Amino acid sequence: MRILGIDPGTLFTGYGIVEFKGNELTYIASGVVKINPTKEQAPRLKKIYDELELIIQKYKPDEFSLETAFYGKNAQSALKIGYARAVSMLVAVNNELPIKEYSPREIKKSVVGNGSATKEQVQFMMKKLLALKKTKMKFDETDGLAVAVCHAFKVSTPVKKSKNWKEFIAANPDRVIG
């Protein structure tokens, strides 16, 4: 299964594409859609739509995963991220891709093991898990990859939750990084 993960933003929208077969994760592509900050909102959203459309046409993902909006101190920022999320979802819907959303905390917990992980920790784990050779990556890019990897983990992991780490490791030895 090929998964496209999106970290939505109105200045930078990060994306990551992974292939997930069996229990193997393979890096396919990643990057950032850069949006001109001087443009008005509507042309910025069109740019996100157009770039994601090209990415979907080129890489042909089977599934689409997206980071949910979170409310911080600035309601205006949350609203703008909501626009980028909506445009991203529209591209997926128009390409008939199933959409799954994950909270920032859920993504971090899935890929790092800690829902309060820093962007640096997420970036480190993406480079490690996917054996990335790229040295310079924006956080938006590795966040997009983390969304895709989180989705891969969620669809491959049974719904039954482990009571503790020892139980989880015993049930999932293939997910332990040595």
Q: Please list the residues that pair with 15 across neighbouring strands.
A: 6, 31
**Active-site residue flag, 140:** yes
* Range with the poorest average pLDDT among 67-71, 78-82, 131-135: 67-71
pLDDT at site 174? 73
Q: Please list the residues that pair with 36 across neighbouring strands.
A: none
Tell me which of 7, 51, 63, 143 is the catalytic residue: 7
Burial 51-87 (b: 16+ CB within 10 A, else e): bbeebbeeeebebbbbbbbeeeeeeeeeebbebbbeb
**Active-site residue flag, 143:** no
* CA-based nearest residue to 152, from 27, 8, 7: 27
**Domain around 83:** 2-175
- Per cent of the chain over pLDDT 90 is 71
Per-chain mean pLDDT for the chain: 91
Average the pLDDT over 148-163 and give the result.
80
Tell me which of 63, 67, 141, 143 is the catalytic residue: 67
pLDDT band of residue 45 (cuts 50, 70, 90) is very high
CA atoms within 13 A on the CB side of 36: 7
Read off the CATH number of the domain in which 36 is found: 3.30.420.10
- State how many domains the chain has: 1
Do strands 63-67 and 2-7 pair parallel, antiparallel, or not at all (unpaired)?
A: parallel
**Active-site residue flag, 7:** yes
Tell me which of 63, 140, 141, 143 is the catalytic residue: 140
Average the pLDDT over 75-91 and give the result.
90
pLDDT band of residue 172 (cuts 50, 70, 90) is confident
Amino acid, res. 47: K
